[in-house]
A and B are shown apart, each in its own frame.
Chain A
Amino acid sequence: MTVSDSARVEQAWALVVTGIILYVPANILPVMTMTVVGDIQPLTVLGGVQELYDSGLWPMAAVVFLASIVVPFLKLASLTWILLLHGKPGLQRERTSLRRIVHSIGSWSMVDVFLLSILAAVGQLGVLAGVQAEPGAFFFAAVLVCSLLAAEVYKPRLIWQTETI
């Protein structure tokens, strides 16, 4: 299957815009509920970070905050910037290295998906303790997939194309 270059740019745009839209529910909706000693707490991504921070584990809170909130945002923002400059001359080296950085740090946002899969393994252990996934997880996973595919579809060589399509 071969895809024309202009189609690639369009696909990348579609994926990035979808990612940006889904980023909002991914961060507002709870991704899981934890039942601690009979007390049911819904947790958003940010709530999970807060909880870690409150228990005094700020290095871990920082890792999760960077990986699941900052990285997806930066990834979507830099892809938008790269796509806005598509077909224009200038800053091509910067764009190329930015794309490479996005590519290599992007996978770190999977921390939260793995975290959820490990925590959810607990399931419901009696009425006292349990972990249940919530719809926010769908959106979070979708944002990841969108930005990953967008970076994959928009090949580095397209940065060096200067003719406008």
Chain B
Amino acid sequence: MRCGGRLKTSISGHSLQVAWAFATAGLFLVLLANFEPILTFDVVGNTQSNRIFTGVFELIGQGFWPVALLAGFAGMFAPAMHLGAIWYVTAACCLGLRWPHLRRAFRLVEILEPWNLVPVYAIATVVAVVKLKMLGTVAWQQGALWVIALSLCSLFAAQAFNPELVEEKLEVLE
């Protein structure tokens, strides 16, 4: 008991392997989700394919770089870094390797967790499609599937990543 709450004592064994697997899959999906167009938009013959960074660059172009920075950070950079950090820490723990800066990577996972907002991005895309239909013709593209897959992988990886278990393993490694 601590601070009126019970501390967890027993931890199930395989959660780090699960987190590792989801992080590996997630890292591939990050590439696909960022480079494949998510949707195409068409107004009187002007067709445009949109990726996550299209919007970010357009916002910079319109002079709204702080907003662009926020969208780019939470939509592209933070999810990639978060999954990367989970991958690094869980891989080291599962393989029993003493890679450098494990502590730092572990901290990074905790810092970036609230910033991995790909699931929120997926919802925003759905709302955006509805709004864009008022302007022209919208069609979903392959990238949308990758974004959904990436949000599921991020959620599962974060769920399986057990900080107490990692802490234990890191102490053993050190």
Contacts and interface: CB of A to CB of B under 8 A. Distances in A.
B114 interface: yes
A115 B120 CA distance: 10
B46 A126 contact: yes
A133 B70 CA distance: 14
Interface stretch (B12-20, B124-132, B164-172): B124-132
A111 B124 contact: yes
A145 B67 CA distance: 10
Contact of A148 (B46, B64, B71, B114): B114
Interface residues of B, number: 43
B54 A121 contact: yes
Contact of A125 (B43, B125, B131): B43
A128 B46 CA distance: 11
B75 interface: yes
Contacts of A45: none
19 contacts: A36-B134, A57-B130, A60-B127, A67-B120, A104-B114, A107-B120, A111-B123, A111-B124, A114-B124, A114-B125, A115-B124, A116-B59, A121-B55, A122-B48, A123-B62, A126-B43, A128-B44, A138-B66, A140-B67
Interface of B: 3-5, 41, 43-44, 46, 48, 50, 52, 54-56, 58-59, 61-62, 64, 66-68, 70-72, 74-75, 114-115, 117, 120-121, 123-128, 130-132, 134-136
Interface of A: 34-36, 48, 51-52, 55, 57, 60, 63-64, 67, 92-93, 96, 103-104, 106-108, 110-123, 125-126, 128-129, 131-133, 137-138, 140-142, 144-145, 148, 152, 160
